[in-house]
Amino acid sequence: AQSVTQLDSQVPVFEEAPVELRCNYSSSVSVYLFWYVQYPNQGLQLLLKYLSGSTLVKGINGFEAEFNKSQTSFHLRKPSVHISDTAEYFCAVSPSGAGSYQLTFGKGTKLSVIP
Amino acid sequence: DSGVTQTPKHLITATGQRVTLRCSPRSGDLSVYWYQQSLDQGLQFLIQYYNGEERAKGNILERFSAQQFPDLHSELNLSSLELGDSALYFCASSKETSNQPQHFGDGTRLSIL
């Protein structure tokens, strides 16, 4: 079984400042890692994914995340946020082996960008 | 636009009733996943179908059931509804290969009065 912990439920940050949203996971098997974003009244949109290879993953909208196997973390970063980044962000994992790629999500982090 | 279509967008009904939520996956995607998003439980995996067959089951109540039809659309049936079933229900589809992520629909918001 897998579990995901997003350490901050809410993160306020000023416009053009950097931001880091933290995610830790626990799993007895190898996993793939994802970050999704949910804007109000919308579905989830994939920001980025880590499957294998380079531990630094670049995604859409200027976001990036770094996989740290020893710390079982997959923190999301952006060097300069915009008002339009205000949304809820979800970290998720899925098993990497054959079978189902069902996602286990964290509780989410609400990012509020302050003008 | 993710290409995943969910209907209806909103559903309001009463306790004890039965509803059906519908999902049309992206073209070419054989796999459909259902998730429930609620304030207290967050986002939880319910069930997955692959090419018409059930592949995986998560935290799905016995009152809930799903199926995937030959044209690959899927339906989630919720019966004997309780107040606690009020939630946003998402469908996601994928090609079910390791490098193909799930794409989510906009969800169906179910409100139980």
pLDDT in the model for residue B35:
97
**pLDDT per residue as tens digits for the range B3-48:** 999 999 999 999 999 999 999 999 999 999 999 999 888 999 999 9
Q: Supply A107's token pair.
A: 């509780």
Contacts of B56 in chain A (CB under 8 A): 99-100, 102
Contact B45 A45 (CB under 8 A): no
**pLDDT per residue as tens digits for the range A21-61:** 999 999 988 889 999 999 988 889 999 999 888 889 999 99
pLDDT in the model for residue B95:
86
Q: How far is the CA of B86 from the CAs of B44, B54, B77, in angstroms?
A: 14, 24, 14
Backbone angles phi, psi at A106, to 5 degrees: -80, 180
Tell me whether strands A23-27 and A2-6 are parallel, antiparallel or unpaired.
antiparallel
A108: contact with B, CB 8 A cutoff: yes
For B6, the closest chain A residue by CA position comes to A43
B16 to chain A nearest CA, in Å?
Answer: 27
Q: Closest partner residue to B45 among A45, A49, A104, by Cβ? A: A104
Helix residue ranges, H only, A47-101: none
For B89, the closest chain A residue by CA position comes to A43
Q: Closest partner residue to A105 among B2, B42, B101, by Cβ? A: B42
HSE of A45, CA atoms in CB hemisphere, 13 A:
16
